[in-house]
Structure 1
Amino acid sequence: MKKLIVPQNNLILFISFGGKKFDDSPKAIYDQMIRDNRFDSYELVWAFQNPEDFEIPRGSKVKTDSLKYYVIALKSRCWITNSRVERGLSFKGKNTFYFNTWHGTPIKKMGTDISHNNKSFGTKAKWDIDIMTSQSKYEADIFARVFDIEREKFVISGLPRNDVLIDATPKIKKDILQKMGLPLDKKVILYAPTFREYERDKQLNCIMAPPIDFSKWEKEIGEEYILLLRAHYEVAEVLNVNQSQGFVYNVSDYPILNELMIASDVLISDYSSIFFDYSIQNKPMICFAYDYDTYTDKRGLYFNVMKALPSGSNENDILDIIQTKSSNDILTQVKSFRKSYVQSFGNATNSAIDIIYENIKK
Structure 2
Amino acid sequence: MNIWVEALTGKQALLFSFIAKFFMDRGDNVIITCREYDYTARIFFQRGLKPYVLGRYGGGTLLGKIRASLDRQLRMLDIITEKNIDVHISFTSPDSCRVAYGLNIPIINLTDSPHSYIVNKLTIPLSRFLIIPHCIPKKEFSHLISLRNIYTFNGIFEVTWTKNFSPDSRILDELNLDKYRYIVMRTEEKKASYYKHMDSRPTLISIFIDKLISRERGLKIVIFPRYIDQKKYLIKKYGEKIIIPERSVDTQSLAHYSLLVITGGSTFAQEAALQGIPSISYFPYHFYIEEYIAKRGFPLFHYIDIINALKKMLDIISDPFKYHINTTGLLERMESPLELLEKIINQIFIED
Q: CA deviation at 1:222?
A: 3.7
Q: Alpha carbons of 1:132 and 1:260: their partners in 2 closer, same or farther (altered >3 Å)?
A: farther
Q: Give the number of the structure whose alpha-carbon radius of gyration is greater.
A: 1
Superposed displacement of residue 212, structure 1: 2.8
What's the counterpart of residue 69 of structure 1?
76
Could you tell me how far apart the structure 2 residues matched to 1:150 and 1:252 are? 44
Secondary structure at 2:207's aligned position in 1?
coil
Report deviation, 1:133: 2.9
SS at match of 1:29: helix
With normalisation by structure 1, the TM-score equals 0.64
1:348 aligns with 2:337: yes
Q: Report deviation, 1:90.
A: 7.2
Report the Cα offset of residue 62 of structure 1: 6.5
| Aligned counterpart in structure 2 of residue 177 of structure 1, from 172, 181, 190 | 172
* Unpaired segments ≥5 residues, structure 2: 56-71
The residue type equivalent to 1:249 in the other structure is: I
Whether the aligned pair in 1 keeps the contact of 2:158 and 2:271 (CA below 8 Å) is no
Aligned positions of 1:280-359 closer than 5 A: 280-288=274-282, 301=286, 309=301, 313-314=306-307, 317-318=311-312, 320-325=314-319, 327-328=321-322, 330=323, 345-357=334-346, 359=348
Instruction: Name the SS for the 2:125 alignment partner.
Output: coil
> Which residue of 111, 117, 126 maps to 2:117?
111
Q: Percent identity over the alignment?
A: 10
1:131–1:14: structure 2 CA closer, same or farther, 3 Å change rule? same
Aligned pair partner of 1:96 in 102, 105, 108:
105
CA RMSD of aligned residues (A): 4.6
Partner residue, 1:45: 31
1:228 to partner: Cα distance: 2.0
Residue 169 of structure 2 contacts residue 253 of structure 2 at CA under 8 Å; is this kept in 1? no
CA contact (8 A) 2:32 2:52 kept: yes
Report how far residue 135 of structure 1 moved.
Answer: 2.7
Q: Distance in 1 between matches of 2:14 and 2:77?
A: 22
Seen in structure 2, the aligned counterparts of structure 1 residues 130 and 228 have a Cα distance that, compared at 3 Å, is farther
Q: What is the total number of aligned residue pairs between the two structures?
A: 310
Q: Which residue of 1 aligns with 2:224?
A: 230
Q: Structure 1 residues 313, 48: closer, same or farther in 2, change over 3 A?
A: closer
Specify every segment of 5 or more residues in structure 1 that has no aligned partner in the other structure, as ranges.
1-9, 113-120, 290-294
How far apart, in 2, do the equivalents of 1:166 and 1:77 lie? 30
Q: Is the 8 A contact 1:17 1:83 kept in 2?
A: no
Tell me if structure 2 keeps the 8 A contact 1:62–1:69.
Answer: no
Please give the secondary structure, in 2, of the residue aligned with 1:360.
Answer: helix
Give the Cα–Cα distance (whole angstroms) in 1 for the partners of residues 172 and 150 of structure 2.
40
Instruction: Give the TM-score normalised by structure 2.
Output: 0.66
Considering fraction of residues, name the structure with more helix. 2
Separation (CA, whole Å) in 1 of partners of 2:253 and 2:138: 27
Higher relative contact order (Cα pairs below 8 Å, separated by 6+ residues): 1
